[in-house]
Structure 1
Amino acid sequence: MLAKSYHAVGIQEVLVKIDVPKGSFYHYFHSKEDFCVAIIKYYGEQLAKSITEKLSSRKYSPRNRLKEYFLAIKDYYQKTGYHQGCLVAKLAVEVAHSSPDIRMALKSEFDRWVGLFADCIREAQQNGEIVAGHQPDELAEFIYTSWEGALIRMQVNHDLGSIDNFINYVFNCVIPLNQNQ
């Protein structure tokens, strides 16, 4: 579903690709929609583990952990190309309006990821690295939503300019290093 779109991929195509009989598939999933929800949850868990690992590392300060997280993803896209993007964002644009179950699974994963960013921002505010004048949850929501937008533009433009702009503006304007520290 990342290479194509939700509507462009049929269950039969998936079954052939993974060599699973149709009956076995329908034993676990009642529909393509249920399968998609399971994919979203799995993808969400994997990304949450990655975010948690990067943002809990004591190698960097909290603010720098955030920056290093985004720089690592930028490096990934620089090495692998600009076509992939985020599966959950792609599904959100394509099917969130037509499937309440998929929409709720997407919302759950976005909320989980934003919560991880908020925790790191909160820690940076507590140690004085980021000014404490804004709510961590709201900052995290803004930053993550901006990040997803930058990923979409990266795919459209086939370059990292939007990622560079995101990193520059987030870390120099939105959450600059607290000079009073």
Structure 2
Amino acid sequence: MNTTDSNPTRQRIFDVAQSIIARKGFSAVGLNEVLLAAEVPKGSFYHYFASKDAFGTALLEHYFAAYLGDVDRIFQDPQLTAHEALMRYWQLWITNQTQQADCGKCLAVKLGAEVADLSEPMRLALQRGTSQIIEGLEAMIGKGMADGSVRRSASPAQMAVRLYALWLGASVMAKITRSPLSFDEALLQTRSLLTP
């Protein structure tokens, strides 16, 4: 889920940091660990980011841009009905959260509770990113309701918020239990809510 930053050094910092932070969290990772792994001198880091907080905000913005690009590719696939696109999105969610590699794991899930109370800029970056995801879901649900591939049971906006909250909760439960069973339940509930 990486996009390419126009600056290779900055991109390398993002790639390495996303993997480390997805595994350990934001607070537990020191800048020296990221810079050593990325093979970037400390002075170069401060050329790109004013502080660790500014770096965390930029990392989240970078992450969400890549994530939303992946979502757009699914939602714009002309071969899929809206219902099929939505179900493919949820399958991608499961894959990202259950894969062994840390680099694809959702930073919104990993950092949401951790940084929301520590950094207002990072909280706002999380809010903007998750709001964009929910808006994309809302548009796809609305499209599905219009073409008949998605059941009309609530407004697209209500359904998008409900489903995103369901999947965010399932992701947290999967981390707590170290089991994918919460995703199985979320998938069953999603099919029940969406299928006409």
**TM-score with structure 2 length normalisation?**
0.82
Q: Could you tell me whether the CA contact under 8 Å between 1:37 and 1:102 is conserved in 2?
A: yes
Identity within the alignment, %: 26
After TM superposition, give the deviation of residue 176 of structure 1 in Å: 2.8
Asked if 1:146 corresponds to 2:166, the answer is yes
Q: Which residue of structure 1 aligns with residue 42 of structure 2?
A: 22
After TM superposition, give the deviation of residue 4 of structure 1 in Å: 0.6
Asked if 1:175 corresponds to 2:194, the answer is yes
Q: Which residue of structure 1 aligns with residue 54 of structure 2?
A: 34
Equivalent residue letter for 1:72: L
Equivalent residue letter for 2:26: Y
After TM superposition, give the deviation of residue 175 of structure 1 in Å: 2.1
Asked if 1:117 corresponds to 2:110, the answer is no
Q: Which residue of structure 2 aligns with residue 101 of structure 1?
A: 121
Q: Could you tell me whether the CA contact under 8 Å between 2:109 and 2:171 is conserved in 1?
A: no
Alpha-carbon separation, structure 2, partners of 1:161 and 1:65: 22
Asked if 1:128 corresponds to 2:179, the answer is no
Give unpaired runs (5+ residues) of structure 1: none
Give unpaired runs (5+ residues) of structure 2: 1-20
Aligned residues: 175
Equivalent residue letter for 1:67: M
Asked if 1:90 corresponds to 2:90, the answer is no
Q: Could you tell me whether the CA contact under 8 Å between 2:142 and 2:156 is conserved in 1?
A: yes
Asked if 1:9 corresponds to 2:29, the answer is yes
Alpha-carbon spacing, 1:8–1:150, altered in 2? closer, same or farther (3 Å)? same
Alpha-carbon spacing, 1:76–1:25, altered in 2? closer, same or farther (3 Å)? closer
Alpha-carbon separation, structure 2, partners of 1:17 and 1:113: 30
Alpha-carbon separation, structure 2, partners of 1:77 and 1:149: 12
Q: Describe the superposition over 1:113-148 as per-residue Cα deviations: whole angstroms up to 9, x where unpaired.
A: 111111100100111223435221221111011111
CA RMSD of aligned residues (A): 1.9
Equivalent residue letter for 1:126: A
Give SS of 1:59's match.
coil
After TM superposition, give the deviation of residue 85 of structure 1 in Å: 4.3
Alpha-carbon separation, structure 1, partners of 2:40 and 2:101: 30
Runs of 4+ in 1 over 4 A off after TM superposition: 75-79
**TM-score with structure 1 length normalisation?**
0.88
